[in-house]
A and B are shown apart, each in its own frame.
Chain A
């Protein structure tokens, strides 16, 4: 995220404040995840004033939406929490599959476990959670979780792990040979011991700023593919690895809230972002894939075939869609995480 685009975002928010236009649309999305040029184009096309509010995690968003009185029309839940949103009746059954631009959605993103046939949601972006390594420092195989769980000597003390509890524990459980969300105590214990043994080799458990990678204060991290792409653009030494022991695939989705005030405008927005030239704007900004066929042609040069976007054939099978763990499993995760970060 450059400071110029931050400014653009701020300017956009300011200009959206006095809602003078006929229609309005209130979007609630993750921070630094919504391209200003996309909103600007939508506003111009439909004469609708868009207001963007940002959140930091699915938990925050759901808590606020459940509490009510939020005034939002659109939210962007991750695949893993969409079933919970639907179960709690928080989403409008807006039938995006009947919309004009739905034909552009890649069929592999239609038959999905969290909203089979797409009755509630439209793809925003998808990506993977893997590892990112400075290959100037470490020359070995980077397609493994050993990068942070059994770290090579060259990387010790310069490793970061993102404080995304479920991502990290899922990867560790797969590394020790289990399935995520397990309640098998032998597996959980092995995962906990593995993490605690690895921690002394880490520098931080943090959403580190990109500068720390670019300056090489940190040489390896559990990381998201799009963020890895942004860093590689500034320091070509970094490469992104897909751990062969198992890594997570995820998708964030656009949905209309059950208590939305501007349903018609929200539907326009869903249809709007399924157009290839608009979906490409999302990818250019976030550096993630979008799931809309034909959007490649509108993407920045080099993005559509970037190694962070194309999963190597032999590692495809190791990718699994992230699930939301049931409460019993989540309680174990929290305990492991507290032990790890105490």
Chain B
């Protein structure tokens, strides 16, 4: 490669590099920098280096006797965030994969219509959709009235403002993100391969496990990542569906920048969230490239 070639390549890459530096690396750098400074008295930061922000992500000094221990509250919130995100991913898998299968196996001309139905919720604001779900599960809501009408329960169930409500809200909001990539993978699947499996006396379950799933796996993994990552940082849904009773990471971060007036801790928590997402993405790359090697 001649020097001119190299220059040309850099020149061509420059706009992309500039955009990434300007809008991704620099802002992230500011967050990293703030995470190692001292909180200002009334919000903002003082320009004094301090490890206190990072220390407080996982540890705390006891309010009353100054002993250092793992921060029970932060760890509870961290586990709740990861746990609820995994549960959301699982729930969207259970409902999303059969839905995608159903759509992909319709006649080609009908598929557009079904996909259209899946995308309709995107037209509505997230807030409106979340509040609509709340309307369904409230004490006097549709769901409770149906259950009472069927004689299954006598008293309305308290579903609003629980972890279940948060899970339901997130699964509903993120379901299309699972359906679409899985659909794309199944649509490309060559059904003659399944027929070949049957010809070789594979049972339905065996065919699903050994022929179909390995080939649609990249779609399932992509869908899982697309659901897991935004779930981890979810803010609006836990805030509304959880009624503020049980925070997730996003809510904890917001609190540090707002009422808590501890920006370095907020910044350190944000970076922690970024690292968690990065971990999930690395795991994803491993899984997909690993899959190709076997294929």
Contact = CB atoms under 8 A, between A and B. Distances in A.
Interface of A: 57, 59-60, 62-63, 66, 81, 84, 157, 160, 163-166, 185, 188-189, 192, 199, 202-206, 208-209, 215, 217, 324, 326-327, 330-332, 334-339, 341-342
B153 interface: no
A330 B243 contact: no
B83 to A, nearest CB: 14
Contacts of B154: none
A289 B213 CA distance: 66
A263 B237 CA distance: 42
Q: Shortest 5 CB-CB distances between A and B: which pairs?
A: A204-B243, A205-B244, A342-B73, A334-B260, A165-B259
Contact of A204 (B77, B245, B247, B257): B245
8 contacts: A160-B243, A165-B259, A189-B63, A206-B243, A208-B243, A334-B262, A338-B73, A342-B77
A18 to B, nearest CB: 27
Given A204-B244, A217-B140, A337-B260, 15 more contacts: A62-B43, A63-B257, A157-B158, A166-B259, A188-B63, A203-B160, A206-B161, A206-B239, A209-B131, A327-B42, A330-B260, A334-B259, A337-B255, A338-B252, A341-B247
Contact of B64 (A66, A185, A341): A185
Given A62-B43, A203-B160, A338 B255 contact: yes
A206 B160 CA distance: 12
Given A185-B64, A332-B63, A327 B39 contact: yes
B146 to A, nearest CB: 18
Nearest to A203: B161
B274 interface: no
Given A165-B259, A215-B140, A342-B77, A206 B244 contact: yes
B260 A342 contact: no
A313 B252 CA distance: 41
A59 B39 CA distance: 14
B42 A60 contact: no
Contact of B258 (A59, A81, A215, A338): A59
B60 to A, nearest CB: 7
Give the contact-size bracket for chain B.
35 or more
A129 to B, nearest CB: 15
Contacts of B257: 59, 63
A63 B60 contact: no
B261 A330 contact: yes
A72 to B, nearest CB: 17
A157 B139 CA distance: 11
B259 A341 contact: no
A163 B73 contact: no
Nearest to B41: A327
Interface string B79-115: 0000000000000000000000000000000000000
Nearest to B161: A204
Interface string B133-158: 00000111000000000000000001
A214 to B, nearest CB: 12
A339 B73 contact: yes
Contacts of A209: 131
Contacts of A324: 42
B44 interface: yes
B285 interface: no
B50 interface: no
Contacts of A164: 259
Contacts of B60: 335
Contacts of A341: 244-247, 251
Interface in B239-295: 239-240, 243-247, 251-252, 255-262
Contacts of B74: 338, 342
A287 to B, nearest CB: 24
Most A CB atoms within 10 A — which of B43, B72, B77? B43
Interface in B184-216: none
Most B CB atoms within 10 A — which of A192, A334, A342? A342
A59 B43 contact: yes
A189 B64 contact: yes
A215 B134 CA distance: 13
Contacts of B246: 341-342
A228 B257 CA distance: 29
B76 interface: yes
B44 A63 contact: yes
Nearest to A202: B245
Contacts of A337: 255, 259-260
Contacts of A199: 245
Contact of B261 (A160, A163, A189, A327): A327
Nearest to A328: B41
A336 B63 CA distance: 9
B184 to A, nearest CB: 38
Contacts of A192: 63
B192 to A, nearest CB: 54
B264 to A, nearest CB: 12
